Amino acid sequence: MQYHALSLLKCGYSVDIVGYKGSELQSDLEDNDMTCVKFLYDVPSFIQGLPRLLGYVLKVIWQVISLGITLLLLPKSGHILIQNPPCIPTFLVVYLICWLRGSKMFVDWHNYGYTIMELSHGKKNVIVKFAKWYEQFFGKLSAKNICVTKSMQEDLKTNWGVGANVLYDRPPDIFKQTSLNDRHELFVRLGEKYPVFKPRNNDSTSDETIFTVSNGNDDVCYLQTRPALLISSTSWTEDEDFGVLLQALEDYEKLVSSKSKQLPDIFCVITGKGPLKQYYEDKINKLSWNHVSFCLPWLTPEDYPKLLGSADLGVCLHKSSSGLDLPMKVVDMFGCGLPVCAINFNCLNELVKHEENGLIFNNSEELTQNITTLLDGFPNQSGRLDQFRKNLTGFQSTRWHDCWTQIVLPMVENQTVSEDVKKSQ
Protein backbone atom coordinates (compact mmCIF):
# COMPACT_ATOMS: atom_id res chain seq x y z
CA MET A 1 0.00 0.00 0.00
CA GLN A 2 2.95 2.31 0.55
CA TYR A 3 3.95 1.69 -3.07
CA HIS A 4 0.47 2.77 -4.19
CA ALA A 5 0.81 5.92 -2.11
CA LEU A 6 4.24 6.75 -3.52
CA SER A 7 3.02 6.30 -7.09
CA LEU A 8 0.00 8.53 -6.45
CA LEU A 9 2.29 11.21 -5.06
CA LYS A 10 4.55 11.00 -8.11
CA CYS A 11 1.49 11.60 -10.29
CA GLY A 12 0.48 14.74 -8.38
CA TYR A 13 -2.18 13.35 -6.05
CA SER A 14 -2.34 14.07 -2.35
CA VAL A 15 -2.67 10.97 -0.20
CA ASP A 16 -4.24 10.21 3.16
CA ILE A 17 -2.88 6.98 4.68
CA VAL A 18 -4.96 5.19 7.30
CA GLY A 19 -3.68 2.18 9.22
CA TYR A 20 -2.33 0.80 12.46
CA LYS A 21 1.04 1.65 13.91
CA GLY A 22 3.69 -1.01 13.54
CA SER A 23 5.91 -1.12 10.47
CA GLU A 24 7.80 2.07 9.75
CA LEU A 25 6.68 4.25 6.88
CA GLN A 26 9.14 4.85 4.08
CA SER A 27 10.88 8.18 4.48
CA ASP A 28 9.47 9.48 1.17
CA LEU A 29 6.00 9.25 2.71
CA GLU A 30 6.83 10.64 6.13
CA ASP A 31 8.60 13.71 4.77
CA ASN A 32 6.07 14.60 2.05
CA ASP A 33 3.77 17.61 2.45
CA MET A 34 1.18 15.92 0.22
CA THR A 35 0.84 13.00 2.64
CA CYS A 36 -1.35 12.85 5.75
CA VAL A 37 -1.02 9.80 8.01
CA LYS A 38 -3.79 8.82 10.42
CA PHE A 39 -3.29 5.94 12.84
CA LEU A 40 -6.19 3.81 14.06
CA TYR A 41 -6.56 3.04 17.75
CA ASP A 42 -5.49 -0.46 18.72
CA VAL A 43 -8.15 -2.88 19.90
CA PRO A 44 -8.25 -2.81 23.75
CA SER A 45 -6.17 -5.61 25.24
CA PHE A 46 -8.94 -6.84 27.54
CA ILE A 47 -10.91 -8.06 24.50
CA GLN A 48 -8.25 -10.71 23.86
CA GLY A 49 -9.08 -12.38 27.18
CA LEU A 50 -12.78 -12.83 26.38
CA PRO A 51 -14.37 -15.98 24.90
CA ARG A 52 -13.43 -16.26 21.22
CA LEU A 53 -16.81 -15.44 19.64
CA LEU A 54 -17.56 -12.56 22.02
CA GLY A 55 -14.05 -11.18 21.63
CA TYR A 56 -14.30 -11.35 17.85
CA VAL A 57 -17.63 -9.48 17.80
CA LEU A 58 -16.37 -6.74 20.12
CA LYS A 59 -13.15 -6.43 18.11
CA VAL A 60 -15.13 -5.89 14.89
CA ILE A 61 -17.40 -3.31 16.55
CA TRP A 62 -14.36 -1.41 17.81
CA GLN A 63 -12.78 -1.46 14.36
CA VAL A 64 -15.99 -0.29 12.69
CA ILE A 65 -16.23 2.74 14.98
CA SER A 66 -12.51 3.56 14.84
CA LEU A 67 -12.19 3.26 11.06
CA GLY A 68 -15.52 4.95 10.35
CA ILE A 69 -14.78 8.02 12.45
CA THR A 70 -11.25 8.32 11.05
CA LEU A 71 -12.45 8.24 7.43
CA LEU A 72 -15.30 10.68 8.08
CA LEU A 73 -12.87 13.23 9.52
CA LEU A 74 -10.65 13.14 6.44
CA PRO A 75 -11.18 15.46 3.45
CA LYS A 76 -13.40 14.13 0.69
CA SER A 77 -11.62 11.73 -1.65
CA GLY A 78 -12.02 10.65 -5.23
CA HIS A 79 -11.12 7.07 -4.37
CA ILE A 80 -10.61 5.03 -1.23
CA LEU A 81 -8.07 2.32 -2.03
CA ILE A 82 -8.00 -0.72 0.24
CA GLN A 83 -6.05 -3.96 0.17
CA ASN A 84 -7.82 -7.25 0.73
CA PRO A 85 -7.38 -9.08 3.05
CA PRO A 86 -8.44 -8.07 5.61
CA CYS A 87 -12.01 -7.36 4.56
CA ILE A 88 -13.80 -7.45 7.94
CA PRO A 89 -14.91 -4.80 8.72
CA THR A 90 -13.07 -2.73 6.08
CA PHE A 91 -15.37 -3.52 3.14
CA LEU A 92 -18.55 -2.51 4.96
CA VAL A 93 -17.12 0.66 6.49
CA VAL A 94 -15.45 1.87 3.30
CA TYR A 95 -18.53 1.12 1.19
CA LEU A 96 -20.73 3.20 3.54
CA ILE A 97 -18.23 6.08 3.59
CA CYS A 98 -18.03 6.03 -0.21
CA TRP A 99 -21.84 6.06 -0.44
CA LEU A 100 -22.10 8.99 1.96
CA ARG A 101 -19.36 11.07 0.34
CA GLY A 102 -19.55 10.15 -3.33
CA SER A 103 -16.15 8.42 -3.42
CA LYS A 104 -15.20 5.28 -5.33
CA MET A 105 -14.32 2.06 -3.50
CA PHE A 106 -11.16 0.62 -5.07
CA VAL A 107 -9.99 -2.85 -3.97
CA ASP A 108 -6.53 -4.33 -4.44
CA TRP A 109 -7.13 -8.10 -4.20
CA HIS A 110 -4.07 -9.92 -2.85
CA ASN A 111 -5.89 -12.96 -1.51
CA TYR A 112 -9.23 -14.01 -0.02
CA GLY A 113 -9.57 -13.35 3.68
CA TYR A 114 -11.90 -16.27 4.35
CA THR A 115 -9.35 -18.78 3.00
CA ILE A 116 -6.82 -17.57 5.57
CA MET A 117 -9.40 -18.05 8.33
CA GLU A 118 -9.99 -21.60 7.07
CA LEU A 119 -6.39 -22.49 7.95
CA SER A 120 -7.06 -22.15 11.68
CA HIS A 121 -10.84 -22.63 11.93
CA GLY A 122 -11.78 -25.03 9.13
CA LYS A 123 -14.24 -24.63 6.27
CA LYS A 124 -17.30 -25.61 8.33
CA ASN A 125 -16.81 -22.96 11.00
CA VAL A 126 -19.76 -20.53 11.26
CA ILE A 127 -17.53 -17.47 11.32
CA VAL A 128 -15.63 -18.68 8.24
CA LYS A 129 -18.90 -19.23 6.35
CA PHE A 130 -20.08 -15.75 7.28
CA ALA A 131 -16.71 -14.26 6.29
CA LYS A 132 -16.93 -15.89 2.85
CA TRP A 133 -20.46 -14.55 2.27
CA TYR A 134 -19.44 -11.10 3.53
CA GLU A 135 -16.34 -10.96 1.31
CA GLN A 136 -18.26 -12.01 -1.79
CA PHE A 137 -21.24 -9.70 -1.14
CA PHE A 138 -19.29 -6.52 -0.48
CA GLY A 139 -16.55 -7.42 -2.97
CA LYS A 140 -19.13 -7.13 -5.74
CA LEU A 141 -19.95 -3.58 -4.60
CA SER A 142 -16.46 -2.22 -5.23
CA ALA A 143 -16.33 0.24 -8.12
CA LYS A 144 -12.84 -0.70 -9.30
CA ASN A 145 -10.63 -3.71 -8.74
CA ILE A 146 -7.10 -4.92 -9.36
CA CYS A 147 -5.61 -8.31 -8.47
CA VAL A 148 -2.18 -9.92 -8.43
CA THR A 149 -2.50 -12.91 -10.79
CA LYS A 150 -4.33 -14.01 -13.91
CA SER A 151 -5.61 -16.99 -11.92
CA MET A 152 -7.25 -14.69 -9.38
CA GLN A 153 -8.63 -12.48 -12.15
CA GLU A 154 -10.37 -15.52 -13.66
CA ASP A 155 -11.66 -16.74 -10.29
CA LEU A 156 -13.03 -13.31 -9.35
CA LYS A 157 -14.85 -13.07 -12.66
CA THR A 158 -16.17 -16.64 -12.76
CA ASN A 159 -17.13 -17.25 -9.13
CA TRP A 160 -17.62 -13.75 -7.72
CA GLY A 161 -18.82 -11.69 -10.67
CA VAL A 162 -16.03 -9.17 -10.06
CA GLY A 163 -14.05 -7.74 -12.97
CA ALA A 164 -10.45 -6.89 -12.11
CA ASN A 165 -7.33 -5.78 -13.93
CA VAL A 166 -4.12 -7.70 -13.22
CA LEU A 167 -1.35 -5.67 -11.60
CA TYR A 168 1.59 -7.96 -10.99
CA ASP A 169 3.60 -6.94 -7.97
CA ARG A 170 6.91 -5.46 -9.01
CA PRO A 171 9.65 -4.09 -6.77
CA PRO A 172 10.43 -0.38 -6.52
CA ASP A 173 13.89 0.91 -7.37
CA ILE A 174 15.23 0.43 -3.82
CA PHE A 175 15.34 -3.33 -4.41
CA LYS A 176 18.64 -3.98 -6.21
CA GLN A 177 21.94 -5.76 -5.69
CA THR A 178 23.94 -4.19 -2.87
CA SER A 179 27.53 -3.13 -3.49
CA LEU A 180 30.25 -4.94 -1.56
CA ASN A 181 31.14 -1.83 0.48
CA ASP A 182 27.49 -1.31 1.41
CA ARG A 183 27.17 -4.98 2.34
CA HIS A 184 30.11 -4.68 4.69
CA GLU A 185 28.71 -1.53 6.27
CA LEU A 186 25.34 -3.28 6.74
CA PHE A 187 26.90 -6.40 8.30
CA VAL A 188 28.96 -4.28 10.71
CA ARG A 189 25.92 -2.28 11.73
CA LEU A 190 23.72 -5.35 12.16
CA GLY A 191 26.48 -6.94 14.22
CA GLU A 192 26.02 -4.25 16.85
CA LYS A 193 22.49 -5.51 17.46
CA TYR A 194 22.82 -9.15 16.39
CA PRO A 195 26.25 -10.51 17.46
CA VAL A 196 25.86 -13.52 15.16
CA PHE A 197 26.98 -11.20 12.32
CA LYS A 198 30.31 -10.72 14.07
CA PRO A 199 33.24 -13.04 13.24
CA ARG A 200 33.66 -16.15 15.32
CA ASN A 201 37.29 -15.22 16.01
CA ASN A 202 37.13 -12.93 19.04
CA ASP A 203 40.58 -11.53 18.21
CA SER A 204 39.42 -10.05 14.92
CA THR A 205 39.16 -6.31 14.36
CA SER A 206 35.98 -4.26 14.31
CA ASP A 207 36.37 -4.02 10.51
CA GLU A 208 35.61 -7.72 10.06
CA THR A 209 32.28 -9.55 9.95
CA ILE A 210 31.41 -13.20 9.47
CA PHE A 211 31.26 -12.46 5.71
CA THR A 212 33.62 -9.58 4.96
CA VAL A 213 36.75 -7.75 6.04
CA SER A 214 37.90 -4.17 5.40
CA ASN A 215 41.53 -3.19 5.13
CA GLY A 216 40.71 0.51 5.19
CA ASN A 217 40.32 3.02 2.35
CA ASP A 218 37.10 1.30 1.26
CA ASP A 219 39.07 -1.85 0.44
CA VAL A 220 36.51 -4.56 1.27
CA CYS A 221 36.67 -8.21 0.33
CA TYR A 222 34.75 -11.37 1.08
CA LEU A 223 36.27 -13.98 3.36
CA GLN A 224 37.03 -17.18 1.47
CA THR A 225 35.61 -19.17 4.39
CA ARG A 226 32.40 -17.16 4.63
CA PRO A 227 29.07 -18.97 5.01
CA ALA A 228 26.39 -18.75 2.35
CA LEU A 229 23.80 -16.12 3.23
CA LEU A 230 20.35 -17.66 2.90
CA ILE A 231 17.39 -15.39 3.54
CA SER A 232 13.65 -15.79 3.96
CA SER A 233 10.98 -13.37 5.13
CA THR A 234 7.65 -14.11 6.73
CA SER A 235 4.73 -12.77 8.71
CA TRP A 236 4.96 -15.94 10.85
CA THR A 237 1.40 -17.14 10.14
CA GLU A 238 -0.19 -20.53 9.39
CA ASP A 239 0.13 -20.19 5.61
CA GLU A 240 3.92 -20.62 5.90
CA ASP A 241 5.23 -23.85 7.40
CA PHE A 242 8.75 -23.05 8.55
CA GLY A 243 9.04 -26.60 9.81
CA VAL A 244 9.85 -27.45 6.17
CA LEU A 245 12.87 -25.12 6.18
CA LEU A 246 14.08 -26.29 9.59
CA GLN A 247 13.92 -29.95 8.55
CA ALA A 248 15.74 -29.16 5.31
CA LEU A 249 18.49 -27.36 7.21
CA GLU A 250 18.76 -30.23 9.71
CA ASP A 251 19.35 -32.59 6.79
CA TYR A 252 21.80 -30.11 5.25
CA GLU A 253 23.68 -30.00 8.55
CA LYS A 254 24.17 -33.77 8.37
CA LEU A 255 25.43 -33.55 4.79
CA VAL A 256 28.03 -30.92 5.71
CA SER A 257 29.15 -33.00 8.69
CA SER A 258 29.57 -36.08 6.47
CA LYS A 259 31.90 -34.11 4.15
CA SER A 260 30.52 -36.04 1.19
CA LYS A 261 30.30 -32.77 -0.77
CA GLN A 262 32.07 -29.43 -0.71
CA LEU A 263 29.31 -27.51 1.03
CA PRO A 264 29.59 -24.22 2.92
CA ASP A 265 28.11 -23.38 6.29
CA ILE A 266 24.83 -21.52 6.06
CA PHE A 267 23.92 -18.25 7.74
CA CYS A 268 20.10 -18.25 7.71
CA VAL A 269 18.28 -14.95 8.19
CA ILE A 270 14.50 -15.02 8.62
CA THR A 271 13.03 -11.53 8.76
CA GLY A 272 9.59 -10.43 9.92
CA LYS A 273 7.35 -10.63 12.95
CA GLY A 274 4.10 -12.39 13.71
CA PRO A 275 2.24 -14.79 16.02
CA LEU A 276 4.33 -17.93 15.36
CA LYS A 277 7.77 -16.32 15.59
CA GLN A 278 8.40 -17.29 19.21
CA TYR A 279 7.29 -20.87 18.54
CA TYR A 280 9.86 -21.35 15.79
CA GLU A 281 12.55 -19.43 17.65
CA ASP A 282 12.18 -21.84 20.58
CA LYS A 283 12.29 -24.77 18.18
CA ILE A 284 15.52 -23.52 16.60
CA ASN A 285 17.17 -22.99 19.98
CA LYS A 286 16.37 -26.55 21.09
CA LEU A 287 18.31 -28.06 18.19
CA SER A 288 22.07 -28.46 17.97
CA TRP A 289 23.70 -26.60 15.08
CA ASN A 290 27.35 -26.70 14.01
CA HIS A 291 27.16 -25.65 10.38
CA VAL A 292 23.98 -23.56 10.33
CA SER A 293 23.46 -20.33 12.26
CA PHE A 294 20.28 -18.26 12.52
CA CYS A 295 19.25 -14.65 12.93
CA LEU A 296 15.58 -13.61 13.19
CA PRO A 297 15.73 -9.81 12.93
CA TRP A 298 13.15 -7.10 12.34
CA LEU A 299 14.66 -4.77 9.75
CA THR A 300 13.94 -1.17 8.81
CA PRO A 301 12.42 -0.46 5.37
CA GLU A 302 15.86 0.77 4.28
CA ASP A 303 17.88 -2.22 5.55
CA TYR A 304 15.55 -4.96 4.30
CA PRO A 305 16.30 -4.44 0.58
CA LYS A 306 19.99 -4.00 1.35
CA LEU A 307 20.09 -7.40 3.06
CA LEU A 308 18.17 -9.05 0.21
CA GLY A 309 20.67 -7.51 -2.20
CA SER A 310 23.50 -9.02 -0.14
CA ALA A 311 22.17 -12.58 0.03
CA ASP A 312 23.23 -15.64 -1.97
CA LEU A 313 19.93 -17.51 -2.01
CA GLY A 314 16.32 -16.80 -1.05
CA VAL A 315 13.77 -19.28 0.27
CA CYS A 316 10.01 -18.78 0.10
CA LEU A 317 7.61 -20.93 2.14
CA HIS A 318 4.49 -18.94 1.31
CA LYS A 319 1.79 -21.42 0.33
CA SER A 320 -1.22 -19.41 -0.75
CA SER A 321 -4.37 -20.17 1.25
CA SER A 322 -6.42 -19.61 -1.89
CA GLY A 323 -3.84 -20.81 -4.39
CA LEU A 324 -4.41 -17.58 -6.31
CA ASP A 325 -1.90 -15.03 -5.01
CA LEU A 326 1.85 -14.66 -5.38
CA PRO A 327 4.40 -14.01 -2.61
CA MET A 328 5.57 -10.40 -2.54
CA LYS A 329 8.77 -11.52 -0.84
CA VAL A 330 9.82 -13.34 -4.04
CA VAL A 331 9.10 -10.19 -6.05
CA ASP A 332 11.43 -8.26 -3.72
CA MET A 333 14.10 -10.97 -3.99
CA PHE A 334 13.91 -11.01 -7.78
CA GLY A 335 14.18 -7.23 -7.77
CA CYS A 336 17.53 -7.68 -6.01
CA GLY A 337 18.62 -10.32 -8.53
CA LEU A 338 18.36 -13.02 -5.86
CA PRO A 339 17.53 -16.57 -7.05
CA VAL A 340 14.83 -18.32 -5.03
CA CYS A 341 13.80 -21.76 -3.89
CA ALA A 342 10.01 -21.60 -3.51
CA ILE A 343 7.45 -24.10 -2.25
CA ASN A 344 5.03 -25.14 -4.96
CA PHE A 345 1.36 -24.13 -5.23
CA ASN A 346 -1.27 -23.56 -7.90
CA CYS A 347 -0.22 -20.36 -9.73
CA LEU A 348 3.41 -20.01 -8.63
CA ASN A 349 4.59 -20.50 -12.21
CA GLU A 350 3.28 -16.99 -13.00
CA LEU A 351 6.33 -15.77 -11.08
CA VAL A 352 8.90 -18.50 -10.37
CA LYS A 353 10.12 -20.38 -13.45
CA HIS A 354 11.67 -23.70 -12.40
CA GLU A 355 15.30 -24.04 -13.55
CA GLU A 356 15.16 -20.52 -15.02
CA ASN A 357 15.10 -17.99 -12.14
CA GLY A 358 14.98 -20.44 -9.25
CA LEU A 359 13.88 -23.88 -8.13
CA ILE A 360 10.50 -25.16 -6.95
CA PHE A 361 10.11 -27.77 -4.22
CA ASN A 362 7.24 -29.68 -2.63
CA ASN A 363 8.74 -30.88 0.67
CA SER A 364 11.78 -30.60 2.92
CA GLU A 365 13.66 -33.37 1.10
CA GLU A 366 13.39 -31.52 -2.21
CA LEU A 367 14.39 -28.25 -0.54
CA THR A 368 17.52 -29.88 0.90
CA GLN A 369 18.37 -31.18 -2.55
CA ASN A 370 17.82 -27.74 -4.10
CA ILE A 371 20.02 -25.96 -1.55
CA THR A 372 22.72 -28.60 -1.84
CA THR A 373 22.71 -28.43 -5.64
CA LEU A 374 22.99 -24.64 -5.73
CA LEU A 375 25.62 -24.32 -2.99
CA ASP A 376 27.88 -27.24 -3.96
CA GLY A 377 31.40 -25.81 -4.22
CA PHE A 378 30.35 -22.39 -2.90
CA PRO A 379 31.72 -19.75 -3.19
CA ASN A 380 33.95 -20.85 -6.08
CA GLN A 381 31.51 -22.94 -8.13
CA SER A 382 28.26 -21.03 -8.38
CA GLY A 383 27.40 -21.52 -12.05
CA ARG A 384 23.68 -22.18 -11.61
CA LEU A 385 23.22 -19.36 -9.13
CA ASP A 386 25.02 -17.01 -11.52
CA GLN A 387 22.88 -18.16 -14.43
CA PHE A 388 19.68 -17.65 -12.44
CA ARG A 389 20.85 -14.13 -11.57
CA LYS A 390 21.44 -13.35 -15.24
CA ASN A 391 17.99 -14.67 -16.10
CA LEU A 392 16.46 -12.18 -13.65
CA THR A 393 17.78 -9.17 -15.59
CA GLY A 394 14.55 -8.85 -17.56
CA PHE A 395 12.44 -8.96 -14.41
CA GLN A 396 14.59 -6.28 -12.81
CA SER A 397 14.09 -3.95 -15.77
CA THR A 398 10.34 -3.63 -15.03
CA ARG A 399 9.61 -1.75 -11.82
CA TRP A 400 6.52 -1.03 -9.74
CA HIS A 401 5.83 2.51 -10.89
CA ASP A 402 6.10 1.55 -14.56
CA CYS A 403 3.45 -1.15 -14.16
CA TRP A 404 1.34 1.04 -11.89
CA THR A 405 1.14 3.90 -14.39
CA GLN A 406 0.02 1.49 -17.10
CA ILE A 407 -2.67 -0.30 -15.06
CA VAL A 408 -3.81 1.79 -12.07
CA LEU A 409 -3.30 5.40 -13.14
CA PRO A 410 -5.86 5.22 -16.01
CA MET A 411 -8.38 3.72 -13.57
CA VAL A 412 -7.87 6.63 -11.15
CA GLU A 413 -7.93 9.30 -13.86
CA ASN A 414 -11.26 8.03 -15.19
CA GLN A 415 -12.85 9.46 -12.04
CA THR A 416 -13.87 13.05 -12.76
CA VAL A 417 -13.24 15.21 -9.70
CA SER A 418 -12.30 18.82 -9.16
CA GLU A 419 -8.67 19.52 -8.35
CA ASP A 420 -9.41 20.46 -4.74
CA VAL A 421 -10.76 16.98 -4.00
CA LYS A 422 -8.27 15.01 -6.11
CA LYS A 423 -7.29 12.66 -3.30
CA SER A 424 -6.91 8.99 -2.64
CA GLN A 425 -6.53 6.95 0.52
Predicted confidence at residue 138, as pLDDT, reads 95
Q: What's the pTM?
A: 0.83
| CATH 3.40.50.2000 describes domain 2-170+399-424 | yes
Residue 125 backbone phi and psi in degrees, to 5: -60, 140
Task: Give the whole-angstrom CA distance, residue 201 versus residue 210.
Answer: 9
Q: Where in the chain is the domain with CATH 3.40.50.2000?
A: 2-170+399-424, 180-185+224-396
pLDDT of residue 219: 86
Ranges of the chain whose pLDDT falls below 70 = 202-206, 239, 381-382, 414-425
Phi/psi at 306 (5° precision):
-65, -40
Radius of gyration of the chain (CA): 23
What are the residues whose beta carbons fall under 8 Å from the beta carbon of 193, sequence distance 6 or more? 297
DSSP string, 367-400: HHHHHHHHHTTTTT--HHHHHHHHHTHHHHTS-H
CATH of 180-185+224-396, one of 3.30.200.20, 3.40.50.300, 3.40.50.2000, 3.90.1150.10: 3.40.50.2000
- Exposed, middle or buried, 103 (CB in 10 Å: 0-12/13-18/19+)? buried
Predicted local confidence at residue 189, as pLDDT? 93
- The pLDDT score that the predictor gives to residue 184 is 94
What pLDDT is recorded for position 165? 97
d(Cα 393, Cα 389) in Å, to the nearest integer?
7
> What pLDDT does residue 422 have?
35
User: Is the separation of the CB atoms in 297 and 193 below 8 Å?
Assistant: yes
β-bridge pairing 14-19 and 423-424: parallel
* Res 323: pLDDT: 87
* DSSP three-state, residue 233: strand
The pLDDT value given to residue 416: 38
Q: With the C-alpha atoms ordered 214, 218, 221, 227, is the resulting torsion angle positive or negative?
A: positive
**What pLDDT sits at residue 202?**
58
**Contact between 199 and 237 (Cβ < 8 Å):** no
